[in-house]
Each structure stands twice: as C-alpha cells, then as structure tokens.
A and B are shown apart, each in its own frame.
Chain A
C-alpha cells in the first residue's frame, strides 16, 4: 500500500484526467455520436427493408388471393349472366309464342267473323238474286203462258175437266 501511494504521481493523474476527459468530449462529438447514429440508421434501414419485404410478400399473397377471388367471381358472374340470358330467351320465346297465339287467335276470329258476315251477305245477295231471278222467270213464264189465250182456255178447260164436281 505504501509503495502504491509512493508510486502515485499527482502530475500524471492530472494529465490523465485532462487528456482523457478532453478525448472523451472530442470523441463523443466527432466520433461516437456520428458512428452510433449511422449504425442505428443502418439497423433501422435493414429492419425497415425486411419489414417492407415481408409486407410485399404478404401483398403478393393478397394479390394472388384477390385475383383468384376475382376469377371465381367473374366465372360466377358469367354463369349468372348465361343463366339470365337463357331465362330471358325462354321468356321472350314463350312471350312471343303467347303473343302469336293470341294474335293468331284474334286474327282467326276476326277472319271467321269476316267470313261469316261475307257469307251472310253473299247468301243474302244470292237470296235476293234468286228471288229476283225467280220472280223474273216466273214473270216471263207467266207472261209466256198468258200470251196464248186459247191454250189458256184449253188448259183451264182441261183443269176444269179434271175437277169433278163432287
């Protein structure tokens, strides 16, 4: 212990304190802070890059899943559209059919009615003509018959002869 105290040099102690503290302050300002900050920044950068890579990977997975989903959706939509189209087609066809049917029926009925009325008119016309003709013929016949008086008288005599007065 005595040797230690004897070896202790106060001057060296002071120099050591002065030099070491100034070294500490200088290095703190010009070396340690920039170095540690740079290292920290670098580590943060690496961490960020890793996180970004992970994020990108997840995003990729999401995108794949999304596209798959979209594909499925598109397929379903196509199915639905096809189905709908088919349905529309069916309804259109059936509607058309129905419409045609009713329209046809209506037309037939109209035609029938027309035919009926034409027929009636024709029949009436024919009846008239027949009546006219009959009358004319009868007129002519009667005229003919009546033109020959002797004959008439003969005929009437014949007729009168047939009639037996009972």
Chain B
C-alpha cells in the first residue's frame, strides 16, 4: 500500500525542503496559469458576443495566438498583414502520398494557394496539409471536420528546425565542455556555466532517486532530456515564436522514451510490485494489480501532459496579455498589460527551468522504481 502512496513524488521526495518548496511553487504556478488561460478565453468569448464591432480584431488576435502555438511549414519571423508580406524562409515539405513528395513550402504561399507536385494537389488548412484538387476544395463532414485525405507529413517544419538547432547547440556546448575537461580538471569556456547544473542533476536528481549503484547508467538520458527541454522552453520565450515543448508530438516522444527505458530496466521486483504486490492480503493483490498496471501508463501520460500543458498555457497567457495591449489601446490598460506581460515573462523563465527539472526528476524517479531492490520486504 505504501508503494502506491509513494507514487506521489511530493511525499516520496527525499527530505529536502528546497525541492519540496519548488515543487509546490510549480504546482501553484501551473494552476495559476491554467486558471488565467480559462479566464482569458472566457472573457474573450463573452465579449465577442456582446460587442460586435470589436469581434474581428479579437478574432484576429485569437487566430494569431492559435497560429503561434502551432507548428508551421515555414519559418516566419514577422509578417505585415496589411501588405500581406511575410519575412522568413521556406522549409522543405516531405509527404508520404504514394511515394515521397518533396517540395518547398513556398509553393503554398502561406496557405493562400494550392501546391502542386507531381500532379498531386495539396492545400494548407489550419497548419495541416490535406490532399485536394486543383481548386483547393476542402470538404467537411457532418461534425465540421475536414474529410480530405491527410497524407503523412514528414516535413521539416519550424519545430523540426528548432529541434535540430537545439541539438547542434547542445552538441557544441557540451562537446566543448567535455573537451575543456580533457585539458585539465577545471572547465573553461561557455560550457563552464552548465557544469554546476550537470553536477546538480547528478547529485540531487539521479543519485537520491535511482540510487548510488545504478544511477550512472541513466545519467546520459537525464542530462540530455533536462537540457533539451530547458533550452527549447527558453527558445519558446524568445521572439522567434517557436513552441516546441508545447507541442504534443514532442512531449509524447519524450515521455515515450522515459516509458520505454523504465519498462526495459524494470527488474523482478518492479514487476512483482505491479502484478502481485507483496505484503498485502491476496484479495488486495487482485484489486491492486490493475491499478498498478494503469499507473504504469498514467505516469508517462501525466509527464507528457504536464510539460505540454504548462508550456502551451504559458504561451497562450503571455500572447493574450500582449494582445490586450492592442485591445485596450489606452495608456493605463496598455501599461498595465505591459507590466503584466513583463511579470509573466519572468515567471515563464522560471517555469521553463522548472518544467525541465520536473520532467527530469520524475523520469529519474520512475527509473528508480524500476531498479529498486527491496532488502526488507516486511516494511510493506
């Protein structure tokens, strides 16, 4: 029974007050941001019903936000909607539609035209590519869903570019750090800044969560995932306008890796605790088995949703508040919104690090459960 309670990482945390505090703060922040997000959309919605003239402007902001949080087939830094000019660069589109279809995203003209490649026609609709005819007809089914064929899209999108950039950056930074260690025991260069963080992840995340004996095997994954998520979270706060860690596909991939590593490192003890919980009467064992089994899948699911929702909500709130500056269009409201946006940006900086930390810590805890050895069975 105790093991089940322990799944709540707050109660399982080693008695480190600072980590507990940070976790509680994190929970508060995430609740606050989600709540604000709801408020923002609700007021927006209500307002749009009452005040008809302002609707178009608010709708435009809403569309902008939606566009921003979604992946894109071209890398646009900014665009002038009046002159209909976009500043940025096109990215290659790779589709699987009876063979590989490769063409530049410039063919879409930012979703305004139908792209033709090898006699097939494709249209961009809400940042998704659908197969269509020469006129670009989009069909809807009864529930207002697009019923066109959706080819599998392997395009190098904006997010893929950012992932690649982050990979290169990380490789240069940490490769440099490793190289500087080759010269002597004291690191030098830009990587030096990250050395204490590497040590922190080792000493305060991996060691207490996984255990002194086995933590070494998981260090590469934990370090990579921490810096990957953190850097991408930070990139999300830059005016580049990317939202990689707030994309469900990315967080699913990350959580899936944690899940796979956990299951593959699970020892006899781990599986025994799932299917035949030791130390409880047998009817309880039968009841606990499906709950524990569900927990195996819920844990990584919570992981992916937590990261996705926090970053997504952060982006939406921040963009909504920036949008408010233009809606208020007066000194007081504008200044207030500006101050609020500034304040929120700072919180988002904290959230960026915190979410990376939480993802890493929880991954480490799951690995810890999987490799845990019980010397004192009677303790249950």
Chain A residues with a Cβ under 8 A of chain B? 4, 7-17, 19-24, 26-28, 30-36, 38-39, 41-42, 45
Contact = CB atoms under 8 A, between A and B. Distances in A.
Given A7-B247, A20-B228, A36 B219 contact: yes
Contact of A12 (B159, B164, B216, B257): B159
B174 A15 contact: no
A28 B164 contact: no
B6 to A, nearest CB: 28
Nearest to B126: A6
Interface stretch (B147-155, B286-294, B337-345, B351-359): B147-155
B348 interface: no
Contacts of A38: 178, 181-182, 185
Contacts of B94: 11
Interface of B: 70-71, 94, 152-157, 159-160, 163-164, 167, 170-171, 174-175, 177-179, 181-182, 185, 195, 198-199, 202, 216, 219-221, 223-224, 228, 247-250, 252-254, 256-257
A31 B163 contact: no
Best-surrounded residue of A15, A36, A45 (most CB of chain B within 10 A): A15
A31 B249 contact: no
17 contacts: A7-B247, A7-B249, A11-B153, A12-B247, A12-B249, A15-B156, A15-B160, A16-B249, A17-B253, A17-B256, A24-B220, A30-B171, A30-B178, A33-B220, A36-B216, A36-B219, A38-B181
Contact of A24 (B155, B175, B221): B221
Contacts of B216: 36
Contact of B163 (A7, A16, A34): A16
Contacts of B247: 7, 9, 12
A39 B198 contact: yes
Given A27-B174, A35-B181, A11 B224 contact: no
Given A24-B224, A39-B199, A10 B249 contact: yes
B254 A20 contact: yes
A28 B171 CA distance: 10
B153 A41 contact: no
A36 B174 CA distance: 11
Nearest to A33: B220
The 6 closest A-B pairs by CB, nearest first: A38-B181, A31-B174, A28-B220, A34-B178, A16-B253, A13-B249
